[in-house]
A = this chain, B = another copy of it.
């Protein structure tokens, strides 16, 4: 490896720090707007994601209008009422106590979509795993999330909306797949742990239990 290629220990530490301190943020947003140059860098990080067959199937819808946020919040509210009814007893009470979106408070929302037919029906690398273009788009979402954290911007992925509502509110054509709706903005602080861990919804799993050697289910020798 040439010297130019390598990351220094300091750079590496910054990258690991970003990965560890990224949070799914749905509260504590500040009204401070996201400057255009910051947004441009974050979107460029998304556009630098890997994509199957170099398809770059994504689009980025930037939402700032209060009316659009209201409409999306309405869609969330409808879906969340249905969702809450799927849990029972203490879980239902805990579910209802959680803040699961920041659609109205965040200064900016981003919707990331996938155009599956951008290069016609046959795509290099998608021939045997048809979801690969969707996965590429998710990689772009994760790049955006990490870049935003590096910019000290909180990001929350809001998935409790019906895709039909996303299509209708954002005028997304039928052949385009909405992948992620993110609320984005500066926050007064980042939590140390995921909100759902802190609330006792589920515990952090032990990594060693999740690693196998050679075959699924075969414990890795440590």
Q: List 7 A-B contacts (CB under 8 A).
A: A1-B188, A11-B17, A56-B202, A62-B213, A64-B214, A125-B159, A138-B142
**Which chain B positions have C-beta within 8 A of A65?**
214
The interface bits of chain A over 142-160 (1 if a CB of B lies within 8 angstroms of the residue's CB, else 0) are: 1101110111100001011
Which among B124, B186, B187 is the interface contact of A201 at CB below 8 angstroms? B124
Q: Is the CB of A7 within 8 A of B207?
A: no
**Which chain B positions have C-beta within 8 A of A63?**
214
Q: Is the CB of A10 within 8 A of B14?
A: yes
**Which chain B positions have C-beta within 8 A of A53?**
196, 201-202
Complex CA–CA separation, A24 to B125 (angstroms): 12
Known: A56-B204, A62-B220. A83 touches B128 (CB 8 A): yes
Most buried by B among A15, A49, A65: A15
A residues with a Cβ closer than 8 A to B are 1-2, 5-7, 10-12, 14-22, 24, 41, 43-45, 47-50, 52-56, 58-65, 68, 79, 82-83, 86-87, 95, 98, 100, 113, 119, 122, 124-129, 131-132, 134-135, 138-139, 141-143, 145-147, 149-152, 157, 159-163, 170-173, 176, 179-180, 186-190, 194, 196-197, 201-202, 204-205, 207, 210-218, 220
Count of identical protomers in the assembly: 2
A211 to chain B, nearest CB (A): 5
Q: Is the CB of B45 within 8 A of A22?
A: no
Complex CA–CA separation, A134 to B139 (angstroms): 12
Complex CA–CA separation, A24 to B136 (angstroms): 12
Q: Is the CB of B62 within 8 A of A45?
A: no
**Which chain B positions have C-beta within 8 A of A10?**
10, 14
Known: A82-B128, A83-B128, A160-B128. A147 touches B48 (CB 8 A): no
Q: Is the CB of A1 within 8 A of B152?
A: yes
Nearest CB in chain B to that of A139: its residue: B142
Nearest CB in chain B to that of A198: its residue: B54
Complex CA–CA separation, A61 to B11 (angstroms): 28
